[in-house]
Amino acid sequence: MSTPLPPGQRESATFHRFGLTQFAQRFPNHTSSCALEVIGSVTRTLHLVDALQGLPRIEQTSDFHCVTTWSYRALRWEGVRFVDFYNQVLLPQAAPQASATLVALRGQDGARTGMLLEDLLAPDVLLADRLDGEPISVDHGAPLRLVAPAHYGYKSVKHLSRIEFREPSAGYRVSGLSFMDHPRARVANEERGRVLPGWLLRYLYRPLIPGTVSRFAKASQSRNAGTGCSGGAAT
Ligand SMILES: Nc1nc2c(c(=O)[nH]1)N[C@H]1C(S)=C(S)[C@@H](COP(=O)(O)O)O[C@H]1N2
Ligand SMILES: [Mo]
């Protein structure tokens, strides 16, 4: 059952709470419902109170690959396929411009990245509110996170609160540290960053793992109680 890990990745025994250290101390303000804002190149801006309401729920097991080279195997996510959310909510209600093929994603903690709409519509990309049979914990993205298993972990935005449709003609610059943020970040292609080659970034990122893990773990302390989406929980 165990497939080889993608190039440059090593298996981790722990699913670390992780990210850029500037986000270690930041936590979501709202964890009891999956509110989501849809803005940008859309016909109508949306303020959804429960983004997953009424949509078909699925369960999916996938490996998780952080760009710094740790991978954690076989996480069991539950939620809604992004493509279903797109077809059943975004297209009819927000009606994005056909030319807005870049989507900026933002978490409640201020973390940002972008994905090509085409990548978001892959069948394994989820809006997830449950992990391993429980509501997603604050540590791992409560109340709602993106899960994009074919892309490095930084595309899987936790505490997802806003999605913004953009015209790609303006260029890809979504996060503050855009040199680290590859527009696609496909794990199979080792697209770790925008500027330096993936194989080189392996060696630059790997030494940062222990310090980052301990900063995120310390900051989390007693903040890891889980919450779920109103009405979204599978029974
Ligand atoms: N909102 C938000 N999303 C985020 C991050 C973050 O700091 N804040 N870190 C990213 C990175 S670099 C990784 S590897 C994964 C880590 O997910 P985890 O903390 O659930 O293990 O979340 C990604 N999504
Ligand atoms: Mo990461």
The conformation of residue 94, written as its DSSP 8-state character, comes to I
The C-alpha R_g of the chain, in whole angstroms, comes to: 17
158: left (phi over 0), alpha (psi -120 to 50) or beta: beta
pTM of the model: 0.93
Helix ranges (H only) for the chain are 82-85, 117-120, 198-205, 209-220
Measured from the CA of 141, which atom of ligand 1 is nearest? 20
Task: Evaluate whether 162 touches 114 at the Cβ level (below 8 Å).
Answer: no
Rounded to the nearest 10°, the torsion over CA 157, 161, 166, 171 is -40
Which residues, by Cβ under 5 Å, contact ligand 2, an ion?
A: 66-67, 153-154
pLDDT tens sequence for the chain (235 residues): 578 999 999 999 999 999 999 999 999 999 999 999 999 999 999 999 999 999 999 999 999 999 999 999 999 999 999 999 999 999 999 999 999 999 999 999 999 999 999 999 999 999 999 999 999 999 999 999 999 999 999 999 999 999 999 999 877 888 777 789 999 999 999 999 999 999 999 999 999 999 999 999 999 975 654 444 543 333 3
Amino acid at 115: M
The CB density around residue 194, as the number of other CB atoms within 10 Å, is: 15
Mutate to test the pocket of ligand 1, among 18, 125, 144, 215 (most ligand atoms within 8 A of CB): 18
